[in-house]
């Protein structure tokens, strides 16, 4: 190679290194984590391709697993990505796989939208999930564990411990573990125990005087899954189940231990709720108790499990061979989520994305109502702090001119400042109405607790609507002002959850537009009373009008394309499943409409099929943060229309939920929203493109600037706030700065 070539390569490498180091941008290698089935995975429905929803979900989880394999990601972030795939898979089994199995047994000949019978789905899912689990454990053993070892972080087996470490383990066992252990023998007088969903257990085969008996020891979930022991260098950890296994002889002193095997069961956890019950809260509380006793849908066991123990577990749990997952490593990888957050190792994690506070749109305003009266405002989370939303509710709770607050809550945090503000508002004499959706899956218990506390504080609490989930994100404040009653609104794409707002990307809009206010009041009247759904001025609301709205907008783009007018559709959603929407998108593509879809998760549409979807591109962004916002842009013959909201393009969102989609009309916010979409479309670090065979490939980055949209949004939020700070200052004669407005934010906001 010539010296000139070498210098060019070195320069290119130096530039790439600089790009990688800035904002945690990473150069990703391609990994074979996809699990590809034969071409017949994609079926044709009414002449159009439709990918099976459940199989598409596995592909999404595989994209998350790619991040765990990625060597450019920091080690503890790779650990967390692996934990996310395990947690995702748990929920998938509890709801989706359990649902497929139930339908397979109750109606074996029925078919889903992709044309597959549920028996076919189960067969393909079984193949795909088993292969996926193998890749999870390959990632653990061949990629993550060696990397942790390089960082001097080690998981030790009992035999690897030195004397002082063994002493520490003995003390921990005697003081904390032994008192909470309950060994459970299984014989004619002591039946096999009802094991809790997702609990980790150890099966034991015992022997005495020619007799084999079996027992079960549950690994206590109230104790940390891993225990740290002092190490000469670095840090060392021992798994809780390994400690218990090493002391099994003390639990079964009269018998000789022949074999042991860690195992875990996953149960059908989809609630069967009678929505005609007299009290929905009581009915859901009863159903939650049954969740722990659902039928097993998965048995995870060690690949080294003794055959007699395996046969015993299969017989006791009644699982088939296809429901057994033998793993070559620690069972239940979700514990790595907490391991990824252990103290003192920030250098092994992503550089934190720190929200700016206040958001640029609210800089210079002590009075948040004053800011909203001036113009519509927008906040982009987590790049801009969720505190703006909390501040809005708190000010409303303490403002003597506020008469009423109405809000929908789908998922909130365990120590929610939103709930605290609503309780304060009720104590201050405001009329507070809150819809707490008790049917929010896996948040039912948390929401029941909050509903009871809100009721005790004097809030009027609605539990939800029969047959529907209320998923819309809206907050209405009714305020008495000099010129009459004014309504202030916050509408968003994400939950009122201060915790998830730190790592879910969402957008919220504040407005006091009169027409929006009228729509909000009408919506709450529908939710809380017996009002008929109105003709909304601006909002698009499911289940009454949102499907029709989206269908009409897509058809309009199709007609514009056929008429030679400007046409195009850009949509960002979490999932694209609805067959009718997909069919209309195919027809629009055939008419020449250019369609760009950013779909994080499930996508049943198949792009790039000749003669059908050649004009459709599907992208998936999987990165440091979880993409959650929903944005819809329609070219509309050159007069673009932009909407945001809570709804994905799924049947449940359009037909079975109360959802809200709203237009963005302020010119500055429209331009800002376009910038958000364009920044995402420039991303080459976190983006994968879907091919016509349903596989996803990372963008080829050769010769491209390494745009990372999530870090560019963070930079943009900081620049916007700094620009507002600079614009809000003028110089006195003595050279000091003073604010231009009297309502300059407090020093704490600085």
Residue-by-residue DSSP string for 602-626: -B------TTTTTTEEEEEE-SSSE
In terms of domains, do 569 and 522 share one?
A: no
Q: Is residue 487 part of a domain?
A: yes
d(CA 150, CA 75): 10
Q: What is the pLDDT of residue 207?
A: 86
Q: What is the pLDDT of residues 459-516, one digit of tens each?
A: 999 988 888 899 999 999 999 999 999 999 999 999 999 999 999 999 999 999 999 9
Range of the domain at 307: 160-273+294-318
C-beta separation of 520 from 404 below 8 A: no
In terms of domains, do 172 and 197 share one?
A: yes
Regarding predicted confidence, which is higher, 30 or 347?
Answer: 347
pTM for this prediction: 0.89
Tokens of 742: 């009297």
Q: What is the pLDDT of residues 143-178, one digit of tens each?
A: 999 999 999 999 999 999 999 999 999 999 999 999
Residue-by-residue DSSP string for 190-237: SPPP-PPTT-EEEEEEEEETTEEEEEEEEPPTTS-SEEEE--SSSEEE
Burial code of 258-292, b = ≥16 C-beta within 10 A, e = fewer?
A: ebbbbbbbbbbbebeeeeeeeebbebbeebeeebe
Q: What is the pLDDT of residue 19?
A: 40
Tokens of 3: 């010296």
Tokens of 551: 């269908």
Q: Is residue 8 part of a domain?
A: no
User: Span 714-738, mean pLDDT?
Assistant: 76
Q: Is residue 198 part of a domain?
A: yes
In terms of domains, do 305 and 210 share one?
A: yes
Q: Could you say which of 471, 490, 628, 744 is catalytic?
A: 471
Q: Is 460 helix (H, G, I), strand (E, B) or coil?
A: strand
Would you report the helix, strand and coil content of the chain in percent, each value rounded to 5? 40, 25, 35
- Number of other CB atoms surrounding residue 352 within 10 Å: 11
Q: What is the mean pLDDT of the chain?
A: 89
- Closest-CA residue to 710 (of 44, 40, 67, 35): 67
Residue 418 clears pLDDT 90, i.e. is over it:
yes
User: Span 67-76, mean pLDDT?
Assistant: 96
Spell out the residues 6+ positions from residue 551 whose beta carbon is closer than 8 angstroms to its own: 580, 581, 584
In terms of domains, do 676 and 581 share one?
A: yes
In terms of domains, do 494 and 628 share one?
A: no
C-beta separation of 263 from 313 below 8 A: yes
Regarding predicted confidence, which is higher, 18 or 519?
Answer: 519
Cis amide bond preceding 358, omega within 30: yes
In terms of domains, do 646 and 680 share one?
A: yes
Residue-by-residue DSSP string for 52-70: -HHHHHHHHHHHHHHHHH-
In terms of domains, do 620 and 697 share one?
A: yes
- Closest-CA residue to 292 (of 263, 262, 269): 269
What residue has token string 């899956």? 441
Residue 625 clears pLDDT 60, i.e. is over it:
yes
Q: What CATH number has the domain bearing residue 193?
A: 3.30.1840.10
Regarding predicted confidence, which is higher, 740 or 543?
Answer: 543
What's the length of the chain?
750
d(CA 748, CA 433): 31
- Closest-CA residue to 262 (of 249, 283, 246, 282): 246
Phi-psi sector, 592: left (phi>0), alpha (psi -120 to 50), beta: left
Q: What is the pLDDT of residues 515-527, one digit of tens each?
A: 999 999 999 999 9
- Number of other CB atoms surrounding residue 324 within 10 Å: 18
Q: Is residue 749 part of a domain?
A: no
Indicate the pLDDT class of residue 729, thresholds 50, 70 and 90. Answer: low
C-beta separation of 680 from 623 below 8 A: no
- Closest-CA residue to 229 (of 151, 141, 305, 168): 168
Q: Is 117 helix (H, G, I), strand (E, B) or coil?
A: strand
User: Span 628-649, mean pLDDT?
Assistant: 98
User: Span 172-200, mean pLDDT?
Assistant: 92
Q: Which helix (H) or strand (E) holds 510?
A: strand 504-511
Q: Is residue 153 part of a domain?
A: no
- Closest-CA residue to 161 (of 227, 257, 222): 227
Residue at a domain's end among 503, 521, 536: 536
Q: Is residue 366 part of a domain?
A: yes
Q: What is the pLDDT of residue 370?
A: 97
In terms of domains, do 432 and 387 share one?
A: yes
Q: What is the pLDDT of residue 412?
A: 92
Q: Is residue 747 part of a domain?
A: no
- Closest-CA residue to 88 (of 601, 684, 463, 525): 601
Q: What CATH number has the domain bearing residue 442?
A: 3.30.870.10
In terms of domains, do 490 and 565 share one?
A: no
Cis amide bond preceding 543, omega within 30: yes
Residue 31 falls in the annotated catalytic set: no
In terms of domains, do 518 and 398 share one?
A: yes
Q: Is residue 216 part of a domain?
A: yes
Residue at a domain's end among 521, 536, 551: 536
In terms of domains, do 519 and 547 share one?
A: no
- Number of domain units in the chain: 3
| Angle at CA of residue 67, ends 62 and 73, nearest 5° | 175
Q: What is the pLDDT of residue 282?
A: 65
In terms of domains, do 251 and 204 share one?
A: yes
């Amino acid at each position: 190679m010539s010296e000139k070539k070498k210098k060019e390569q070195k320069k290119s490498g130096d530039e790439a290194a600089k790009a990688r180091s800035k904002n945690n941008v990473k150069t990703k290698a391609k990994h074979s984590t996809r699990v590809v089935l034969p071409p017949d995975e994609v079926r044709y429905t009414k002449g159009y391709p439709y990918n099976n929803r459940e199989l598409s979900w596995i592909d999404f989880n595989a994209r998350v697993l790619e991040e765990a394999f990625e060597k450019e990601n920091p080690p503890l972030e790779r650990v967390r990505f692996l934990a996310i795939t395990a947690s995702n898979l748990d929920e998938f089994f509890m709801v989706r796989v359990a649902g497929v199995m139930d339908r397979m047994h109750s109606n074996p000949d029925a078919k889903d939208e992709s044309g597959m019978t549920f028996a076919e789905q189960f067969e393909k899912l079984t193949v795909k999930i088993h292969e996926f689990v193998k890749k999870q454990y390959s990632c653990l053993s061949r990629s993550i564990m060696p990397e942790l070892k390089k960082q001097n972080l080690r998981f030790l087996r009992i035999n690897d411990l030195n004397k002082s470490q063994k002493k520490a383990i003995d003390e921990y066992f005697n003081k904390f573990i032994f008192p909470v252990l309950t060994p459970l023998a299984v014989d004619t007088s002591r039946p096999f125990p009802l094991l809790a969903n997702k609990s980790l257990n150890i099966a034991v085969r015992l022997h005495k005087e020619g007799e084999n008996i079996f027992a079960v020891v549950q690994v206590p979930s109230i104790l940390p899954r891993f225990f740290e022991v002092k190490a000469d260098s670095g840090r060392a950890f021992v798994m809780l189940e390994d400690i218990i296994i090493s002391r099994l002889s003390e639990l079964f002193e009269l018998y000789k231990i022949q074999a042991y095997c860690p195992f875990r069961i996953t149960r059908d956890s989809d609630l069967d709720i009678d929505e005609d019950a007299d009290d929905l809260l009581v009915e859901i509380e009863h159903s939650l108790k049954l969740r722990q006793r659902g039928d097993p849908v998965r048995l995870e066991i060690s690949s080294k499990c003794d055959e007699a123990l395996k046969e015993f577990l299969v017989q006791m749990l009644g699982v088939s061979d296809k429901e057994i997952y033998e793993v070559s490593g620690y069972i239940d990888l979700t514990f790595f989520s907490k391991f990824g957050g252990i103290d003192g190792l920030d250098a092994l994690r992503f550089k934190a994305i720190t929200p700016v506070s206040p958001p640029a749109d609210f800089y210079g305003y002590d009075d948040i109502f004053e800011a909203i009266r001036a113009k519509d405002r927008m906040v982009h989370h987590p790049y801009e702090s969720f505190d703006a939303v909390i501040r809005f509710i708190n000010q409303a709770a303490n403002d003597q001119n506020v008469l009423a607050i109405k809000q929908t809550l789908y998922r909130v945090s365990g120590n929610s400042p939103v709930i605290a503000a609503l309780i304060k508002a009720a104590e201050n004499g405001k009329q507070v109405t809150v819809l707490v959706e008790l049917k929010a899956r896996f948040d039912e218990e948390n929401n029941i607790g909050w509903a009871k506390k809100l009721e005790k504080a004097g809030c009027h609490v609605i539990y939800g609507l029969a047959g529907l989930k209320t998923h819309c994100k809206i907050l209405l404040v009714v305020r008495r002002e000099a010129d009459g009653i004014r309504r202030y609104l916050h509408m968003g794409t994400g939950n009122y959850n201060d915790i998830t707002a730190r790592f879910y990307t969402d957008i919220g809009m504040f407005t006091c537009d009169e027409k929006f206010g009228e729509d909000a009041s009408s919506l709450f009247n529908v939710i809380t009373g017996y009002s008929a759904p109105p003709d909304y001025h601006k909002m698009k609301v499911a289940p009454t009008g949102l499907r029709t709205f989206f269908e009409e907008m897509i058809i309009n783009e199709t007609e514009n394309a056929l008429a030679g007018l400007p046409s195009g559709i850009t949509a960002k959603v979490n999932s694209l499943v609805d067959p009718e929407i997909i069919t209309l998108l195919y027809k629009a593509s055939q008419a020449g409409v250019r369609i760009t879809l950013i779909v994080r998760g499930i996508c049943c549409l198949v792009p790039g099929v000749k003669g059908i979807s050649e004009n459709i591109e599907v992208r998936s962004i999987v990165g440091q943060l979880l993409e959650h916002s929903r944005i819809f842009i329609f070219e509309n013959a050159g007069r673009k229309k932009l909407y945001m909201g809570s709804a994905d393009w799924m049947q449940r969102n359009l037909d079975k939920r109360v959802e809200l989609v709203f237009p963005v009309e302020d010119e500055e916010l429209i331009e800002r929203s376009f910038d958000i979409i364009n920044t995402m479309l420039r991303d080459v670090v976190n983006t994968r493109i879907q091919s016509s065979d349903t596989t996803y490939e990372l963008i080829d980055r050769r010769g491209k600037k390494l745009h990372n949209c999530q870090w560019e949004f963070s930079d943009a939020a900081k620049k916007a706030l700094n620009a507002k700070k600079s614009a809000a200052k003028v110089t006195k004669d003595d050279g000091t700065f003073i604010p231009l407005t009297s309502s300059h934010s407090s020093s704490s906001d600085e």
